[in-house]
Amino acid sequence: MQSVSPRRVLVPALMLAASLFVVAFHHHVNFARSSKAETTTLQPALILWAWERREDLTFIDSKQISVAYLARTIFLRAEGVVTKPRLQPLSTPAGTTVIPVARIESDRETPPRLSDNQARDAAIEISQLALLPNVLMVQVDFDATTTQRQFYRTLLIELRKRMPPATKLSITALASWCQGDNWLANLPIDEAVPMLFRMGHDRNAILSRLSGDGFRMTRCESTAGISTDEHIDNLPAVSRLYVFNPSSWNRDALNKVMETYER
């Protein structure tokens, strides 16, 4: 057996420790750590989306509410991947289950080539979110067009390979993806969250069909995503409800959501 220089062991270890520190530092998030056993048992049915703004959510009950926060934005440009970390502070109570969200944007001036290498590089960036504390699930937010679906599929397959097996994978989904469009069926995801807001001219038709059979796709049937400024009368019963607020969250906004949609 060959002897190994202490330097050859120490340098890679220090580099790994430094990279993990950078991942946590760039988010400016005030989270208290919990054990892996505690994290896997925390699965509140109400999840608040916290987007790119200063958010103080220390008033929530972490036993009843999770937080899905924008952790980084991935810009696809030509053959490259440009990452922007979260810049705004976010505070939650100790033990809160958090879901870091990666938003993917396509550059309009320099459209992406959507190559396999680009999908792999984006997956590597997103997979780092699973290393953050209290993370039960990672969520990807990408409004993929029809021509971008194969790229998105490749990205999700790569991402699933690079995340710990116990970490779940969630994606947001256009409502149309969950009503008759079966392209989600074979994706390596644990849930798809149908976005029932900002639906444009399809809103009335989608909500009308929703009041009948609900969501047809298996990946979509247990979740829904809504916004505080677009009330939905016929929201189907779901086991996990994600809520977006155009403004910063406060106790009054949260109480209104719980009173309106409590099941």
The architecture (CATH level 2) of 6-261 comes to Alpha-Beta Barrel (3.20)
Give the residue extent of every domain in the chain.
Answer: 6-261
Q: How far apart are CA 88 and CA 71, in angstroms?
A: 10
Of 159, 139, 160, nearest to 49 (Cα)?
Answer: 139
Token pair 């989270």: residue: 31
Query: pLDDT of 179-217, one tens digit each?
Result: 767 788 889 999 999 988 886 667 766 666 665 566 666
Say what the pTM is.
0.82
Going by pLDDT thresholds of 50, 70 and 90, the confidence category of residue 22 is: very low
Across 167-171, average pLDDT: 96
Query: pLDDT of 27-61, one tens digit each?
Result: 444 544 433 333 334 468 999 999 999 999 999 99
Q: List the beta strands (DSSP E) in the chain.
A: 29-30, 46-50, 55-56, 65-77, 80-85, 90-91, 98-106, 137-141, 168-174, 191-195, 223-227, 240-244
Chain-centroid distance of CA 47 in Å reads: 11
Residues comprising the chain, all counted: 263
Question: How would DSSP label each residue in 112-135?
Answer: ----HHHHHHHHHHHHGGGGSTTB
